[in-house]
Amino acid sequence: MKFVEFGLHPKITKSIEELGYKRPTDIQYKAIPHILKGEDVLAIAQTGTGKSAAFVIPALQLLSKKRKDREKGVRCIVMVPTHELAMQITDVFKQIGKNTSLSFTAIYGGVDYKDQVERLEKGTDIVVSTPGRLFDYINQGVIKVSNAEMLILDEADHMLDLGFYKDIQDLIKYLPKNRQTLFFSATIDKKIKKLAYALVRKPIRIQISPKNPVAKNIDHSVAFIKMDDKRFFLERVMKSNPDKKVLVFVRTKVRCERVLKAMERVGIDTVSIHSDKSQTERDEVMKKFKSGEVKLLIATDVSARGIDIPNVDFVVNYDLPEQAENYVHRVGRTGRGKQKGHAIAFCSSEEKELLTAIEEYTGYPIDITDINHEEYADTIDFSAEAHNDWKTLMRMAEEEEEAYLEVKKKNAKKKAKKKKK
């Protein structure tokens, strides 16, 4: 099937063709016809399946007749968990809707209110927003949503993980009951199901559940590396692939900055992103990495969900994630669409329980990249850092291990409390 068979407006079809989209993905093929009929949709699909276009395309079609009375407020609200995803989805609306007369605005925290308020006061058809900032503007009377025709929640499971459950419930009170609701999530559990069915009416449920939750075009494996040797192997990955774009995931904000400094010590230009950085800093980091100006980005899981960074050649799980499902979201940053992707996980002896959990989640053992004793020793010996102040390096390694063990103790306590409940 081709996009033209959906009966879309020629202006929308033209934009789709210009973007190089030829045939819809599974989620697009199954969701778009129901959305165009005005039905509520509950869609469960893994990252990298084309979820954004699955709601952007039909939303543009349904809203293509511009409402004359701007005083009636926003027509479509898209709620997302993070600033980066808000900007990304707004860009998708702009790309596919560029030939229409619709207007789009992204609103999120961490930036100056004034610019966003000015854009909203001019009037906009579609708002893409994080829940907190949207709720602020509604309370202040900056934005009117009582006549909204459509509500879309993307990465709903991640919004709940970030504690936005109450914000979403509060927002619903301001929206009209007679609206179309689209609910997109990578996973489904009791809490997500409860929220979904509180929002949608007689929804069409669509679930794209491949046997392998990791996309088939991603080669991924695990290498067993000591906790304090990981930086040497990341250095090796970078120096063996100088022209490749590499996205590295670590466990904490502190560790994020330590790995960045370790790479800078060996002459590798690196940027980092995490929640302690201002929105301006985060925007600048993403700009440098997306453009290829800097080839190495160190990130916490804030960047794992839903962010579409073009042409990421490698994902490195420098630290294994505490939540097994985040492994799938992380490796899904490479191999987007039909591109080939590569991912490698560094697993220390302390992280083997996490590896087991990941393999149980994916349903199969992850391939092992064998590193023989000689190759392992050479990686450390030939590091640009190998002849630095070893006392300092050992102290840093000890601090990192202590920090990890502390996190592990806290997680064990949390699990114990849950079992008691």
pLDDT in tens, 68-102: 565 678 999 999 888 888 888 999 999 999 999 89
Ranges 150-159, 361-370, 382-391, most confident:
361-370
Q: How far apart are CA 64 and CA 74, in angstroms?
A: 14
Q: What are the residue ranges spanned by the domains of the chain?
A: 3-208, 218-413
Q: How confident is the model at residue 250 (pLDDT cuts 50, 70, 90)?
A: very high
Query: Which tops the pLDDT comparison, 215 or 417?
Result: 215
Percent of the chain with pLDDT over 90: 42
Global pTM exceeds 0.85? no
Query: Which tops the pLDDT comparison, 413 or 283?
Result: 283
Q: Which amino acid is it at 165?
A: Y
CATH assignment of 218-413, among 3.40.50.620, 2.40.110.10, 3.60.20.10, 3.40.50.300: 3.40.50.300
- 27, 208 contact by CB (below 8 A): yes
Ranges 156-160, 171-175, 336-340, most confident:
171-175
pLDDT at 306: 54
Q: Spell out the residues 6+ positions from residue 190 whose beta carbon is closer than 8 angstroms to its own.
A: none
Task: Assess whether pLDDT exceeds 80 at residue 274.
Answer: yes
- The reply to whether domains 3-208 and 218-413 share a CATH topology is yes
pLDDT at 48: 67
- 92, 12 contact by CB (below 8 A): no
Q: Does domain 3-208 have CATH number 3.30.420.240?
A: no
Backbone angles phi, psi at 23, to 5 degrees: -125, 145
pLDDT at 358: 93
Q: Which amino acid is it at 153?
A: L
- 166, 73 contact by CB (below 8 A): no
Burial call 300-325: b when 16+ CB within 10 Å, e when fewer: bbbbbbbbbbeebbbbbbbbbbbebb
